[in-house]
Amino acid sequence: MISGVLMISLIYWMCGLMVVFPPCAAVAAGFTIEGLLDQWLGSESITFIQYHMRRTAVTCILHSMLLPGYVVTLMMTKPWIFDFLDVHYHSQASTLLLLASLLPSAVVGWIVSNWWSSGWHKHPLATSLVVYAPNNSPDAWKSVAADINTEYRRVDKFISGVSSVYRVVATDNWLMKVTTYRVQLIHLRDAVLSLEGSHITQGPVRATPTPAQQLTINVMSVREGVPAFCIRLSSVEFGELELKAVNPIVNARQIVIQQSLSDLFLETFTKTIRLNPTATPPSSKERQLCFGCMQTPANVSLERRCNATGSSTGCQECRCRPMWCVSCLGKWFASRQDQHHPESWLASRAPCPTCRSTFCLLDVSLIA
């Protein structure tokens, strides 16, 4: 009899754990609170702040119902437990137990109904937005929320992580940490970010062949009334966050940040091609912007040179005008290589991104 109770408890709380920390497969299949209630929650990409106010409210309620749900499940499947309690302890023991288990849900329900009836301005997220609001009216948070929603719609935002259990979002002006029950945010102009620690995790074998470095960053605000918080992200994403940060990120502990394989290769790639003879700039027109990033001028050209050493190689003549910058060509070269054997990359070849003729590192010239 007892083993039956243990079995039911184990199954119930395993399912409960999956509700609280949905596994990747459940997230992908949409079997999460957000996935099942997306009609009511609205669109995260259009109304980011309002979406997360509703999401945190409904998550608090549903998670608080796990306990009474457990008691009810036991009542339905093993009614003898409650008969036993009623007979041996107190005539109303089972009713009292059920009421006690409902207590957290009642408290959460009361808090959430308060948020709801106040037009959400009592929600902790609205309270944290009020600090940045232009005036003291109860609806002042809405103008800040509208700014954040607009920024979140832009394609160049930084997002680390995909689950609602833990995500770091950086838009042009805001840094936000989204967790199951709350969203913490800070204006990037006020934010002082400092690297606090790092640890190495072994990622899923196929996804990341090399171990990933996880960084812990402390976020503090120079503005009063904004509590500090910590964010975690992988070292590969650190560069992207650094681009969004307004103030330089403090690294007082001198933590060595591991770069991604492609970043490391890019350094070596650039160093190697600097040893090659430089090319003369195209005489006719002004130098064009790189076709890949549209930010830096195209500064490399491909000239078959490796043949001069006398060895027979598979390289081909490329007659393209300079269209790429070193960094885009390096990234392209890395992306064409065997990702599990980075040691072979420097001696390998890749097709020209424009005409597909094969080139090696000896054939790449920087434009003087």
Q: Which of 328, 334, 350, 364 binds Zn ion (CB under 5 A)?
A: 328
* Residue 41 token pair: 């929650």
Contact criterion met (CB below 8 Å) for 105 and 65: yes
Q: Which of 102, 130, 354, 366 binds Zn ion (CB under 5 A)?
A: 354
| Residue 318 makes contact with Zn ion by CB under 5 A | yes
CA–CA–CA angle 274, 326, 309 (5° rounding): 45
| Residue 289 makes contact with Zn ion by CB under 5 A | no
Please report how close the Cβ of residue 297 comes to Zn ion at its closest, in angstroms. 9
| Residue 326 makes contact with Zn ion by CB under 5 A | no
| Residue 323 makes contact with Zn ion by CB under 5 A | no
- Residue 91's alpha-carbon distances to 83, 96, 133, 303, in angstroms, are 9, 10, 56, 92
Contact criterion met (CB below 8 Å) for 93 and 100: no
Q: Which of 53, 65, 352, 364 binds Zn ion (CB under 5 A)?
A: 352
| Residue 290 makes contact with Zn ion by CB under 5 A | yes
Of 126, 137, 110, 129, residue with least CA distance to 174: 129
Residue with tokens 């509700």: 19
Please report how close the Cβ of residue 317 comes to Zn ion at its closest, in angstroms. 9
Bridge pairing between strands 300-302 and 349-351: unpaired
Measured CA to CA, the distance from residue 123 to residue 305 in angstroms comes to 66
Q: Which of 36, 100, 200, 293 binds Zn ion (CB under 5 A)?
A: 293
Please report how close the Cβ of residue 332 comes to Zn ion at its closest, in angstroms. 9
Choose the binding region for Zn ion from 83-91, 161-169, 290-298, 335-343 (rule: CB under 5 A): 290-298
Please report how close the Cβ of residue 270 comes to Zn ion at its closest, in angstroms. 12
Query: Greatest CA separation found in the chain?
Result: 99
Closer Cβ to Zn ion, 30 or 297, answer by number: 297
| Binding mask of the shown chain, residues 212 to 231, with x at each position contacting Zn ion by CB under 5 A | --------------------
Closer Cβ to Zn ion, 163 or 276, answer by number: 276
Closer Cβ to Zn ion, 117 or 280, answer by number: 280
Q: Which of 141, 334, 363, 364 binds Zn ion (CB under 5 A)?
A: 363
CA–CA–CA angle 349, 343, 200 (5° rounding): 130
Measured CA to CA, the distance from residue 166 to residue 178 in angstroms comes to 6
Please report how close the Cβ of residue 34 comes to Zn ion at its closest, in angstroms. 37
Restricting to residues 144-183, which ones interact with Zn ion according to CB under 5 A? none
Measured CA to CA, the distance from residue 274 to residue 230 in angstroms comes to 41
DSSP secondary structure letter of residue 279: B
| Residue 276 makes contact with Zn ion by CB under 5 A | no
Please report how close the Cβ of residue 323 comes to Zn ion at its closest, in angstroms. 8
Please report how close the Cβ of residue 309 comes to Zn ion at its closest, in angstroms. 9
- Give DSSP secondary structure letters for 142-163: HHHHHHHHHHHHSTT-EEE-SS
Number of residues this chain uses to bind Zn ion (CB under 5 A) = 14
Q: Which of 33, 360, 364, 365 binds Zn ion (CB under 5 A)?
A: 360
Choose the binding region for Zn ion from 41-49, 168-176, 234-242, 298-306 (rule: CB under 5 A): 298-306
Measured CA to CA, the distance from residue 167 to residue 34 in angstroms comes to 14
- Give DSSP secondary structure letters for 109-150: HHHHHHHHHTTTTTSHHHHHHHTT-SS-STTTHHHHHHHHHH
Binding residues for Zn ion, rule: CB under 5 A, are: 290, 292-293, 306, 315, 318, 320, 325, 328, 352, 354-355, 360, 363
